[in-house]
Amino acid sequence: MTALALSSLSREELRRWLEGRGHPAYRADQIRRHLLRAGEGGFASMSDLPLQLRTELEESAVWSSLEVLAATIADRGLTEKLLLRTEAGHEVEAVMITHPAWDGSRGRRTVCVSSQAGCAIGCVFCATGRLGLRANLTAAEIVDQVLEAARRWDAASVGRPTNVVLMGMGEPLQNYHQVVLAIHLLHEWGISPRQVVLSTSGLVPEILRLAEEGLGVRLAISLHATHDELRDRLVPINRRFPIASLLDAARKYSAASGRRVTLEYVLIRGVNDDPGAARRLGQMAASVHGHVNLIPMNPIPGSDLRAPSAAACRDFAALVGPRATIRHSRGDRATAACGQLRASLTPEPRRQERILARELALVESPSGPPA
Ligand code: SAH
Ligand code: SF4
């Protein structure tokens, strides 16, 4: 029997669990406070709890569903990548990003969490996609990434996590139920769904389902191409849910949630960086009343795809128009940036070959029909 992960329970569920074992319900809050605190290493050190409860917790529950294998610091301490292992032995990564306060704005602390080990979608420019799907994470494993970050920030006295982005390894909407459960649980840890961004490669039925859920999370759509012929090759899920249906779902999500959607666009030199694409992207963003995040592609192992020059990225952004912002993802030297997460997993050779063949085809043929 696997031990109970405390992070899988809501506050109320933990209260009931304790009561069921003859302990007062208020112990739940004591335990939950420990889970956020620096220097905590397990139940034994919770000296404000009676010994018998500590022993019971030791026997039937786990302190965290994740083991920290390594932590890598980048950007002069503002970014930290955690390599984590689930109980089932799957490795995933989470990234802690600190945005210091400046110009009157309050500082933010964002945890970029994984929703799966690996990913089945297979986007050509993404290191996680080259791994294939290894496992779905449980809600507890998603929440524990945030709690681990909270303890580390507490140790450095920088404060609680303020934001969560589902932009680590995996396609969150392919693990719909656990992801939604994790978003509910995180609310009780002080992160409201409005502080959560869910990034998806475009699973239309799940986007519509999420709209009905009424959670109010911010949706980011990984678009990366403005016509289906190219998007089919960059983001293979497009063959099932082409661009028009995706933008339609984005509009519906935006209307239902009252929140602007973001279109993400990884800029890849010679592939999707032509002026026609920029203009169409600007029009698409206007059609969903959304914003565009342009992300110069971060290099990944085994791929020759690269970002355009900084000047070319700026020119592209200018053509997209006022809705576009260039986002340089943090942590690229620690391979902690967007698309670079792959834990210490290696791709299966046959999958790697298939994706490489798609990459070569991309580079050899022009980037698509003229604007
Ligand atoms: N699977 C989800 C969320 C995880 S990826 C999705 O695809 O949206 C988070 C973001 O990183 C996505 O927008 C993805 O397209 C982007 N990304 C992937 N590989 C990248 C790379 N090599 N450089 C820059 N961004 C990348
Ligand atoms: Fe999966 Fe997102 Fe990477 Fe595509 S970009 S392979 S959907 S993690």
Q: What is the pTM of this model?
A: 0.95
- So what's the pLDDT on residue 263? 98
Tell me, what DSSP letter sits at residue 361? H
For residue 244, report the distance from its CA to the centre of ligand 2, in Å.
20
> Region 117-122: what's the mean pLDDT?
96
Kindly calculate the radius of gyration of the chain based on its CA atoms and give it in whole angstroms: 21
Tokens of 317: 């952004």
pLDDT tens digits, one per residue of 140-163? 999 999 999 999 999 999 999 999
217, 194 contact by CB (below 8 A):
yes
Q: Which of 248, 225, 243 is nearest to 123 (CA)?
A: 225
> Region 175-181: what's the mean pLDDT?
98
Sign (positive/negative) of CA torsion 164, 169, 171, 172? negative
- So what's the pLDDT on residue 370? 42
DSSP-assigned letters across all residues of 236-281 = GGGGTS-HHHHHHHHHHHHHHH----EEEEEE-TTTS-SHHHHHHH
State the closest ligand 1 atom to the C-alpha of 126, by its place in the atom list counted from 1: 19
> Confidence class of residue 371 from pLDDT cuts 50, 70 and 90?
very low
Sign (positive/negative) of CA torsion 231, 117, 152, 181? positive
State the closest ligand 1 atom to the C-alpha of 224, by its place in the atom list counted from 1: 15
114, 96 contact by CB (below 8 A):
no
- Which residue intervals of the chain bear CATH 3.20.20.70? 66-364
Q: What is the fold, at CATH topology level, of the domain defined by 66-364?
A: TIM Barrel (3.20.20)
Query: What is the SS3 assignment for 67?
Result: strand
Report the relative pairing of strands 291-296 and 66-74 from DSSP bridges: unpaired
- So what's the pLDDT on residue 1? 57
121, 10 contact by CB (below 8 A):
no
Counting ligands in written order, the one closest to the CA of 199 is 1
> Confidence class of residue 364 from pLDDT cuts 50, 70 and 90?
confident
Q: What is the CA angle 211-212-218, rounded to 5?
A: 25
- So what's the pLDDT on residue 59? 94
> Region 34-55: what's the mean pLDDT?
89
Most informative mutation of 222, 261, 332 for ligand 1 (most atoms within 8 A of CB)? 222
State the closest ligand 1 atom to the C-alpha of 293, by its place in the atom list counted from 1: 13
Q: How many angstroms separate the Cα of 339 from the Cα of each of 45, 190, 319, 349?
A: 38, 28, 25, 19
SS3 for 178-232, per residue?
Answer: HHHHHHHHHHHCCCCHHHEEEEECCCHHHHHHHHHHCCCCEEEEECCCCCHHHHH
- So what's the pLDDT on residue 3? 87
For residue 199, report the distance from its CA to the centre of ligand 2, in Å.
9
C-alpha 196/C-alpha 142 separation (Å) is: 13
Q: Which of 303, 348, 360 is nearest to 133 (CA)?
A: 348
Provide the percentage of residues in the chain whose pLDDT is more than 90. 80
For residue 199, report the distance from its CA to the centre of ligand 1, in Å.
8
* Residue-level length of the chain: 371
Tell me, what DSSP letter sits at residue 156? T
Residue 54 has pLDDT above 80, yes or no: yes
Counting ligands in written order, the one closest to the CA of 129 is 2
> Confidence class of residue 367 from pLDDT cuts 50, 70 and 90?
low
Q: What is the CA angle 298-194-129, rounded to 5?
A: 30
For residue 92, report the distance from its CA to the centre of ligand 2, in Å.
14
pLDDT tens digits, one per residue of 71-116? 999 888 899 999 999 999 999 999 999 988 876 677 899 999 999 9
Query: What is the SS3 assignment for 87?
Result: coil
Q: Which amino acid is at 181?
A: L
Within 6 Å (CB) of ligand 1, which residues are found? 119, 123, 125-126, 167, 171, 199-201, 222, 264, 266, 295, 297-298, 300, 338-339
Residue 335 has pLDDT above 60, yes or no: yes
* CATH of 4-62 among 1.20.1300.10, 3.40.1170.60, 3.30.930.10, 1.10.150.530: 1.10.150.530
- Which residue intervals of the chain bear CATH 1.10.150.530? 4-62
Residues with catalytic roles: 93, 338
Tokens of 125: 């420019």
Counting ligands in written order, the one closest to the CA of 172 is 1
Tokens of 354: 């298939």
C-alpha 282/C-alpha 318 separation (Å) is: 10
DSSP-assigned letters across all residues of 90-154 = -EEEEEEEEE--BTTBPPEEEEE--SEEEESS--TT-TTTTTEEEEEPPHHHHHHHHHHHHHHHH
Most informative mutation of 93, 115, 116, 119 for ligand 2 (most atoms within 8 A of CB)? 119
Q: Which of 92, 43, 48, 47 is nearest to 67 (CA)?
A: 92
- So what's the pLDDT on residue 346? 84
Residue 225 has pLDDT above 50, yes or no: yes
C-alpha 15/C-alpha 23 separation (Å) is: 9
Contacts of residue 300, defined as CB under 8 A and 6 or more positions apart, other chains included, come to 125, 126, 127, 130, 339, 340
C-alpha 300/C-alpha 52 separation (Å) is: 50
Tell me, what DSSP letter sits at residue 3? P
For residue 158, report the distance from its CA to the centre of ligand 1, in Å.
28
CB of 201 within 6 A of ligand 2: the answer is: yes
- So what's the pLDDT on residue 328? 87
CB of 127 within 6 A of ligand 2: the answer is: no
